[in-house]
Structure 1
Amino acid sequence: MTRKVLAAVKTGVETTELMEFDYPQLQPDSGILKVEASGVGGSDPELYRKPEHAPVIMGHENVGTLVEVGPVAQQRWGVEAGDRVALHEYLPCWHCEWCMKGDFRLCMEVDFFNVKDRLNTLRFGMSTCTIAPHLWGGYAQYMHLPLNTVMHVIPPDMPAVHATLAVPFGNGVQWACNDGGAGPGKTVLVFGPGQQGLGCVLAAKAAGSLMVILAGMTRDRSRLDLSLRLGADHAIDVQNQDLHAEVMRLTKGRGVDVVVDTTGDPTGEVAQLAIGLAAKGAYLSLNGLAQSVPIGEIKKRYLTVRAPRGRSYAAVELALRYIGSGRYPLDEVCSHTFGLAQTHEAILATAGRGVEGAVHVTVDPWK
């Protein structure tokens, strides 16, 4: 009889069902991953609400053990069965301009602003499970890995739940440091104390920033407090403190050198706040498609504005070094783990629904 794999499948709006799929057949150019843990990404609650995006095995912050590796894949990846890896969600083409530059996150075949059919574009945690061999997401016991999988080998003793922070903390390295220029002597302001924002805080401080400030809301109090243990110098509750006045007080009226918005603010308010708090020559990383910036103010202040777009291989590799350093209270960051049958509750917890104090939530397919 064919061996079966259990997976949690999004079948409709905020609806998940457990389903069985055939265990994938190993090919010379593929691998099979036994999933140890899959983190619930900050974008997952939004994806979970989309009516047109089903059926999908979600889960794109994936960590596991390679149980089988074909000979062609083994040579390409430089790994062997038994190695533990953390995955990117991207499945790039490896022949376009962007891939050849080493910036596969912008590959035209995986860029969601370019592809016309997102559901049928292969990307871990995003693609329909009707495409054989079906196992394209981490909320499953096993995953099929095609030859264009991007992976990082992790140490045998790294806790799987910690390693699922590779993607959000890799975003932190990319957005705050690689793109934003956070580093020695810089003052940095981060909007949003979710897993991405906490990653920005950790990365900015680890890079040597002079001052790191995190802004959140009253409901984020526990995360704001946690940020102080990850490297933030100041955590501001914008509902009980005047953000502009407090930042100007802390910077002695100069403003900040780097602003990173991780909130995806749909109102455009964060963009206006960011400009008002920026020092001359500052770098602003602004999220949210509804945001706009006045060019006149950008010119006056000599600002550089860009938007966060995923992360590079180097950013995740550095994030994994931070994760494995033992210097940070990652058990506090990795606050909740759910079994495969509780995938629905895990995604809602990440959205702040049903569970108090959730920071980074993971799904354990074997729990």
Structure 2
Amino acid sequence: MTATVRAAVKTGIENTEILEFPVPRVGDNDGLLRVEASGVGGSDPEMYRRENTAPCVMGHEVVGTVSEVGAAAATRWGVKPGDRIALHEYLPCWHCHWCRQGDFRLCMEADFFNVKDRFNTLRYGTCNADIAPHLWGGFAEHMYLAPNAVIHRIPPQMSARHATMAVPLGNGVQWAVFDGGAGIGKTVLVFGPGQQGLSCALAAKVAGAMTVIIAGMSRDRARLDLALELGADISVDVEQEDLAGIVMRATGGAGVDVVVDTTGDPDGRIAEQAVSLAAKGAWLSLNGLGASVPLGEVKKRYLTVRAPRGHSYRAVQTALDIVASGRWPIEKLCSHDFPLTQVHDAILATAGRGTEGAIHVTVSPHREG
């Protein structure tokens, strides 16, 4: 191994440079990962254009091979050099109520919505690269495995690019199934056919949902068509079709049991529509709750409302099991792959800029550019 590691570093707003960092020294409690592939998450374009978040090695959907590991870490993680793993972005405390349940997203050391300083908090893909040992993201040839890292072992034969779906598909499992209750006999409505929405549709169908409906815009036609291959029963172009009419026909007028909004919904319109299309007792996972949402309807319909956020250990492991099953065309989600020198293009592609047809984009740091 060379004495330095190349990494794509965000050095300014929508600007990336290839820089070199010293190879971290591995002690008894930590390790080093040779990155095979790192997915570009749906939140990465926002991070990329945000002020005051540089320097940063982005990339939080990481898959790689353990190249070095300390003795204590090897025992704790159950890994050895040569083993392949997928990482969570979380670097939690491991001793709080939430960590002991495997729900690291809610640990106060890792909870993105509650930490005092997101940029200087240790978390893969968003951490300040000035903090030693610097390699806190997957857009690098190697990455530091911190003592509190959360890992999953993956099979030797699993495609690294497919395995990077662990986090977005894990979100789908969490939001639609574990938090939303999608399962046998349930009807599910998903807003947004991006990587998260497609993952929600797939997770709901794997869980046994009777009818999965996914809604998008006219520009999403290719993704809406793909949704039908990934478990959705009905896809709806809301600009050309009557979503409410389709939902009510599909549910016999009762409304859906589960709603998941993956769009962001800045003005609350989807939240309002979700309430109107929900069955009595439905579970809603909503990104925006605008002032126009009729809270009286929430009470009258006995609805449970949550916000989609992150994933538990069980959700990510379930996602990896879905990938490993070979039953679903995961390769169609993994639309584009870029070398380390084109991280800028990879992030813009995820934002729908410069590259057509991008769904889940990956960066393969050792690929020749």
Task: Give the TM-score, by structure 2 length.
Answer: 0.97
1:231 matched residue in structure 2:
231
Asked if 1:58 corresponds to 2:58, the answer is yes
CA separation in 2, counterparts of 1:103 and 1:231?
27
CA separation in 2, counterparts of 1:329 and 1:210?
20
Hey, which bits of structure 1, 4+ residues long, moved more than 4 A? 289-292
Distance of aligned partners of 1:263 and 1:297 in 2 relative to their CA distance in 1, 3 Å threshold: same
2:249 matched residue in structure 1:
249
2:18 matched residue in structure 1:
18
1:164 matched residue in structure 2:
164
SS of the aligned residue for 1:67 comes to strand
Asked if 1:31 corresponds to 2:20, the answer is no
Structure 2: runs of 5 or more not aligned? none
1:285 matched residue in structure 2:
285
**Counterpart mapping for 1:1-150 below 5 A:** 3-150=3-150
The answer to whether the 8 A contact 1:263-1:288 is kept is no
1:341 matched residue in structure 2:
341
Displacement after TM superposition at 1:111 (Å): 1.1
CA separation in 2, counterparts of 1:13 and 1:288?
26
The answer to whether the 8 A contact 2:86-2:153 is kept is yes
Asked if 1:220 corresponds to 2:214, the answer is no
Asked if 1:316 corresponds to 2:313, the answer is no
SS of the aligned residue for 2:222 comes to helix
CA separation in 2, counterparts of 1:205 and 1:287?
22
The answer to whether the 8 A contact 1:186-1:210 is kept is yes
Displacement after TM superposition at 1:110 (Å): 1.1
RMSD value, Cα = 1.3
CA separation in 2, counterparts of 1:72 and 1:289?
46
CA separation in 1, counterparts of 2:291 and 2:68?
45
1:206 matched residue in structure 2:
206
1:365 matched residue in structure 2:
365
Q: Which amino acid aligns with 1:271?
A: A
Name which of structure 1's ranges 102-111 and 145-154 shifts more when overlaid on structure 2. 102-111
CA separation in 2, counterparts of 1:17 and 1:27?
29
Task: Give the TM-score, by structure 1 length.
Answer: 0.98
SS of the aligned residue for 2:98 comes to helix
Q: Per-residue displacement from partner, 1:4-34 (whole Å, max 9, x unpaired)? A: 1000000111111110111111111001000
CA separation in 2, counterparts of 1:355 and 1:104?
34
Q: Per-residue displacement from partner, 1:206-253 (whole Å, max 9, x unpaired)? A: 111000000011111111111100110001011111111121122121
Displacement after TM superposition at 1:2 (Å): 6.8
Number of residue-to-residue matches in the alignment: 367
Distance of aligned partners of 1:6 and 1:291 in 2 relative to their CA distance in 1, 3 Å threshold: farther
Displacement after TM superposition at 1:292 (Å): 7.0
Displacement after TM superposition at 1:290 (Å): 5.6
Q: Which amino acid aligns with 1:142?
A: H
SS of the aligned residue for 1:112 comes to coil
Distance of aligned partners of 1:189 and 1:148 in 2 relative to their CA distance in 1, 3 Å threshold: same
SS of the aligned residue for 1:108 comes to coil
1:272 matched residue in structure 2:
272
SS of the aligned residue for 1:337 comes to strand
CA separation in 2, counterparts of 1:251 and 1:163?
35
Q: Percent identity?
A: 67
Q: Per-residue displacement from partner, 1:98-140 (whole Å, max 9, x unpaired)? A: 2123321100011122111111100000101000000000000
CA separation in 1, counterparts of 2:207 and 2:298?
26
Name which of structure 1's ranges 101-110 and 336-345 shifts more when overlaid on structure 2. 101-110
Q: Which amino acid aligns with 2:153?
A: V
Structure 1: runs of 5 or more not aligned? none
